[in-house]
Amino acid sequence: MKKLFLLSLIALFLVSISLVAAAPIELSAPATIYLDAGTSNSSTFNVTNVNATYNITSVAIALTNSNLTNASTVTFSGNSSTLLNNSTQTVTVNVAIPSYTANATYTAKINVSGIMNGTNVSNTTDLQVVVNPKFQLDILNALSLSTFAEKNSTVSLSIQNTGNINLSGIQLRNTSVLNDSDNNNITFTFPANFSLYAGETKTVTFNVSVPENMMLGSYSTSIIANSSTGANDSTSLSIDVIEQYCEEGNKGSIINFIIDDPDSGDDFYVGESIKLKLKIKNTDDESHDFVVSADLYDLNNSKMLDANNETTITIDEDDSETVYLILTIPSDTKKNHTIAIYAKAYIDDSDYAEDEQCIQKSVNIDVKRQKHDVKIASFELNPASMACGDTTEAVLGIENVGDNDEESVRIRVYNTVLGINSSKIIDNIDSGDDSTQPFTLIVPSNTNSGNYTLNAEVSFYYKSGTYHDSNARTTILELKGGSCVGNVTNKSQISILNSTGIAGSELTIPVSITNNESVSVTYTFSATGYESWANVSKIEPASLTIAAGNSGTAFVYLTPKSNATGVQSFTITTTYGGKSTSQTASVNVQSSSAIASWFDQLMFELKRNPVWITIDIALIAAIIYVFVWLIVKK
């Protein structure tokens, strides 16, 4: 009996072992994974619990015996920690390979393990990864060069082998010939062929040579890098051949310098003044004296336009300053030409000179011409300083910088305070022509000493009897030697006649002056108090210089408003010799639909001027008496 029980236990144990041994994990092999360096890819495989009775728990998947690089990443997804009896799970294996991983076939073991009925179970399958070859190189920077004629320059280029194969026989070349209209060529000298390991970066240099007579302007090409294995890349190269404005070109490292305004491509007109905004920084640890200058260069004609302007400024250590310079585009500049603004800043003191510390910058602008444009190029006085009562000559230089010829141009010099108002008409000034016109100006003897602004005006674009455009300029006239006004008394006689007007129609009101002084006197006029019922278009002349013992008349041009009616008044103020006299002028405004009767006008004049009307009536009566007497005598 005991022997039978022992045999039963042994039989049961053998059955149990056979059950476990017959139900391990089964694995399918994933397909080979192909990928490029620096990328990832995946494959799948099946994990099956072939046991019909027991589940497998604590399922874990790991990679063993791998020769992949340490930086590679292998992950699994789609699996769970429990694998039910007689079931299958599909697992995804993902492989990520770092850049520059060598072209090769890599292997590893995938181990799947777990616990079934208290016993550890596991199985393995093979994983194969193939990293494809990658032949690639990259140029890392775009290239630009600002240089001068008759100069050799060095250009630096960064290039990297971004593949996973070592590259050899790499050479550089340019894709196009850079020449000007005279067949002057920019030439290149490239380094000998070189190699790059996978992932390696190098900085290589090549030489650019600009011949002596190369025309200024912008030139562009591409620089190509080729390896013997076929990997290649290209980048652009722009070359600006500019005027050498600094004596020795850009020198030193102390100066930071930019043209802040205008911007490249801005439009300007011939004769226009350009305001440059220049920013300079002194990066040195001590202050320096800087010279900042600018000029214009015609890129089409390859010549400076001699519009030079410069200034000197002291800048403290590690400090910045902003400088403004004015450049005027000459009248003979051709339209649609590209003009370069050249500006430079250099140190000029006991420490450095221009050939040691100088930075130049440039921007290109477009120059155009207006259809009609006459500029005042110069406005000078000879002498510019004088005593009251003296004579000076004003010389006005004008230039037709417009596209069209001008059949008539009016120029005028004036100052209302001094009573100066002189003008001329010039016929036929062709486009591009200029003219110099003198004016003799007499300053009144009753003028205070001081500085007076003289105005010059040129009117042009004459059409249908009217000038449609104008330009202006001013200069300063200095009167010295004390005041001549002390001779002026109150002997001037000023009379203003009352008037009759029609609503909506312009009338003139005369202001008559007799100068009873012993010297010439300048009278200026203004009108006030008319605003509610009329408009004053002008007072002509606005100032009047009358010699001693002479008389003159100014006229107020006044238009009553359409709703004005009846007797209206306003004030005319006459200023002379430091004095002012205000008088009331009256206007009998009648409706535009009906003109007042002669009786109304007579009554208005009788009310406003009874003395003169009485005299007129007496004269009429005397004439009638004489006429009747003659008839009776016959």
Q: Do residues 154 and 206 make contact, with C-beta atoms less than 8 angstroms apart?
A: yes
Q: Do residues 307 and 330 make contact, with C-beta atoms less than 8 angstroms apart?
A: yes
How distant, in Å, are the alpha carbons of 155, 208, 370, 502, 531 from that of 232? 19, 22, 51, 91, 83
Same domain, residue pair 629 and 589: no
Residue 481: what pLDDT?
A: 55
Interhelix angle 610-633/598-608, rounded to 10 degrees, is 120
The residue among 368, 403, 420 that closes a domain is: 368
- Stretch 323-343: mean pLDDT: 87
Residue 131: what pLDDT?
A: 94
The residue among 241, 274, 291 that closes a domain is: 241
Spatial distance between the Cα atoms of 280 and 344, rounded to a whole number of angstroms? 10
Same domain, residue pair 580 and 612: no
Q: Which is nearest to 485 in space by CA: 445, 525, 430?
A: 445
The residue among 545 and 125 whose pLDDT is bigger is 125
- How many domains, in total, are found in the chain? 6
Same domain, residue pair 524 and 451: no
* Domain contains 246: no
489 pLDDT higher than 80? no
Per-residue pLDDT tens over the stretch 71-98 = 889 999 998 999 999 999 999 999 999 9
Per-residue pLDDT tens over the stretch 216-270 = 888 999 999 999 988 999 999 999 888 888 988 889 999 999 999 999 889 898 8
pLDDT band at residue 14 using 50, 70 and 90 as cut-offs: very low
Spatial distance between the Cα atoms of 220 and 277, rounded to a whole number of angstroms? 29
483 pLDDT higher than 50? no
Q: Which domain holds residue 403?
A: 374-480
Please tell me the pTM assigned to this model. 0.49
Mean pLDDT of the chain, nearest integer: 85
Q: In this predicted structure, which of 32-46, 120-134, 273-287, 399-413 has the lowest mean pLDDT?
A: 399-413
How distant, in Å, are the alpha carbons of 4, 389, 452, 517 from that of 442? 155, 7, 13, 18
611 pLDDT higher than 80? no
323 pLDDT higher than 90? yes
Same domain, residue pair 547 and 460: no
Residue 15: what pLDDT?
A: 43
Q: Do residues 145 and 48 make contact, with C-beta atoms less than 8 angstroms apart?
A: no
Which token pair is 368? 């155009």
Q: Note the maximum CA span of the chain.
A: 203
Same domain, residue pair 591 and 603: no
Per-residue pLDDT tens over the stretch 440-451 = 888 776 677 788
The residue among 390 and 272 whose pLDDT is bigger is 272
130 pLDDT higher than 90? yes
Spatial distance between the Cα atoms of 325 and 329, rounded to a whole number of angstroms? 13
- Helix (H, G, I), strand (E, B), or coil: what is residue 607? helix
Query: For 249, which DSSP code?
Result: B
* Domain contains 401: yes
What residues have CB less than 8 Å from 634, skipping those under 6 apart?
none
Same domain, residue pair 271 and 332: yes
* Domain contains 112: yes
* Domain contains 625: yes
Residue 578: what pLDDT?
A: 60
Residue 146: what pLDDT?
A: 83
- Stretch 399-415: mean pLDDT: 90
Burial category of 568 from C-beta neighbours within 10 Å (exposed 0-12, middle 13-18, buried 19 and up)? buried
- Stretch 585-594: mean pLDDT: 76
- Helix (H, G, I), strand (E, B), or coil: what is residue 556? strand
* CATH number, position 430: 2.60.40.10
Angle at 604 between CA 600 and CA 609, to 5 degrees: 145
Residue type for position 471: N
Residue 12: what pLDDT?
A: 47
* Domain contains 385: yes
Residue 604: what pLDDT?
A: 45
Angle at 186 between CA 184 and CA 189, to 5 degrees: 140
The residue among 208, 241, 274 that closes a domain is: 241
* Domain contains 287: yes
* Domain contains 4: no
CB atoms within 10 A of CB 47: 26
The residue among 615 and 314 whose pLDDT is bigger is 314
594 pLDDT higher than 80? no
